[in-house]
């Protein structure tokens, strides 16, 4: 039997919403899992990049055995019903840039889980899939929108369960994703974050996160400008993204720009704007990064309201 799953990219954090806000974007990975008929063939994992952004060296060094995150997710699902994975062939067709802050690992985990769940006759419900995916990924802000689509508020509870709610994103607010031509591993980006933060910074983000929800509800662009400010992660990660502070400064007073934030752990950035000055925004970003000898791919997207989709299941 063979199952293919299409999974969207995701952007997370939105400034103040560290580890709790995530959104699906219309860039996709295609994960196919096939049960092989020959005993003893073991696990075969193939990764095929369909984007020029990915470094072939990086792809070559992604584990192709039981150490790959997709296999770990599949194994956890099988083990949850008292089984072990049989001989499997896993193909990953990647359109989501790797190590760029666009949820590539989350998409692979989600795709593997949904495909394996289909192979097993769907023993796991959404809650179980979300819990396993989060355990493998480490936090829910990318895996939840990858599964359910849209913009979501997420939380991992103490018992491991995942609570989420989908939020409506104003159609008139454009999402421009700027992907630089270098990678930034999430573990490196996480390593610069402090173990503890001052209480004033925590309360600052609490206020901004509350503003974010109200700004969405009321479509208040001026309030959203405040809501996107952050003191928990971006101040520490900015030094890992050359030119980011200059880009933020250059966009700060640009008409119709609501905000500029890191996408996930970076190095990609997300610019939120309204009306039609997208060409000017793209020019500012590309010219600023050129001063740092950084090339960038800049594209404007709408929210992907659909999450992961099973494309076919062939017995």
Q: For 65-90, how does the pLDDT look when each residue is reduced to its tens digit (9 = 90+)?
A: 677 899 999 999 999 999 888 788 99
pTM of the model: 0.92
What pLDDT was estimated at residue 277?
85
- Above 60 in pLDDT, residue 55? no
User: Mean pLDDT lowest for which of 35-44, 49-58, 292-301, 304-313?
Assistant: 49-58
What pLDDT was estimated at residue 131?
96
What pLDDT was estimated at residue 51?
63
What pLDDT was estimated at residue 17?
95
Give the separation between CA 171 and CA 129, rounded to whole angstroms. 30
User: Mean pLDDT lowest for which of 46-50, 94-98, 204-208?
Assistant: 46-50
CB atoms within 10 A of CB 255: 9
- State the first-to-last Cα distance of the chain, in angstroms, to the nearest integer: 4
Buried b (16+ CB within 10 A) or exposed e, 40-54: eeebebebebeeebb
What pLDDT was estimated at residue 67?
79
Pick from 237, 243, 287: which is nearest to 266 by CA? 237
Longest dimension (CA), the chain: 63
What pLDDT was estimated at residue 38?
63
- Above 70 in pLDDT, residue 58? no
pLDDT tens across 112-147, in order? 999 999 999 999 999 999 999 999 999 999 999 999
Band (43; pLDDT cuts 50, 70, 90)? confident
DSSP assignment of 248-295 equals HHHHTTSTTEEEEEESTTSSSEEEEEESS-HHHHHHHHHHHHHTTT--
What pLDDT was estimated at residue 30?
96
What pLDDT was estimated at residue 288?
96
- Above 80 in pLDDT, residue 312? no
What pLDDT was estimated at residue 85?
84
Band (185; pLDDT cuts 50, 70, 90)? confident
- Above 60 in pLDDT, residue 315? no
Average pLDDT, whole number, for the chain?
92
Buried b (16+ CB within 10 A) or exposed e, 212-230: beebbeeeebebbbbbbbb
- Above 70 in pLDDT, residue 313? no
Band (212; pLDDT cuts 50, 70, 90)? very high
* Domains along the chain with CATH numbers: 2-167+303-314 (3.30.230.10), 173-301 (3.30.70.890)
> Nearest-5° angle of CA 106, CA 86, CA 65?
50
- Above 90 in pLDDT, residue 186? no
pLDDT tens across 214-252, in order? 999 999 999 999 999 999 999 999 999 999 999 999 998
- Above 70 in pLDDT, residue 183? yes
CB atoms within 10 A of CB 242: 16
């Amino acid at each position: 039997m063979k199952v293919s799953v299409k999974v969207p990219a995701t952007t997370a954090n939105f400034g103040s919403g560290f580890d709790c806000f995530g959104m699906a974007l219309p860039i996709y990975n295609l994960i196919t899992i096939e049960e092989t008929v020959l005993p003893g063939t073991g696990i075969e994992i193939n990764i095929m990049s369909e984007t020029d952004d990915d470094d072939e060296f990086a792809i070559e060094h992604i584990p192709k055995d039981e150490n790959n995150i997709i296999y770990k997710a599949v194994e956890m699902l099988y083990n949850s019903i008292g089984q072990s994975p049989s001989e499997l062939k896993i193909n990953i067709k990647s359109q989501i840039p790797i190590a760029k802050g666009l949820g590539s690992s989350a998409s692979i985990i989600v795709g593997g889980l949904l495909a394996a769940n289909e192979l097993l006759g769907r023993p796991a419900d959404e809650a179980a899939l979300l819990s396993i995916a989060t355990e493998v990924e480490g936090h829910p802000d990318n895996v939840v929108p990858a599964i359910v689509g849209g913009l979501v508020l997420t939380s991992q509870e103490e018992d491991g369960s995942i609570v989420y709610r989908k939020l409506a994103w104003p159609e008139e607010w454009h999402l421009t994703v700027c992907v630089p031509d270098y990678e930034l591993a999430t573990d490196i980006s996480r390593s610069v974050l402090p173990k503890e933060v001052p209480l004033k910074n925590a309360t600052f983000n609490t206020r901004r996160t509350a503003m974010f929800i109200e700004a969405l509800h009321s479509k208040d662009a001026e309030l959203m400008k405040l809501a996107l400010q952050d003191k928990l992660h971006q101040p520490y990660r900015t030094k890992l993204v050359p030119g980011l502070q200059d880009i933020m400064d250059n966009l700060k007073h640009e008409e119709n720009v609501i905000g500029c934030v890191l996408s996930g752990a970076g190095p990609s950035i997300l610019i939120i704007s309204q009306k039609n000055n997208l060409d000017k925004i793209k020019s500012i970003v590309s010219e600023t990064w050129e001063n740092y000898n950084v090339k960038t791919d800049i594209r404007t997207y709408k929210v992907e309201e659909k999450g992961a989709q099973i494309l076919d299941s062939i017995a």
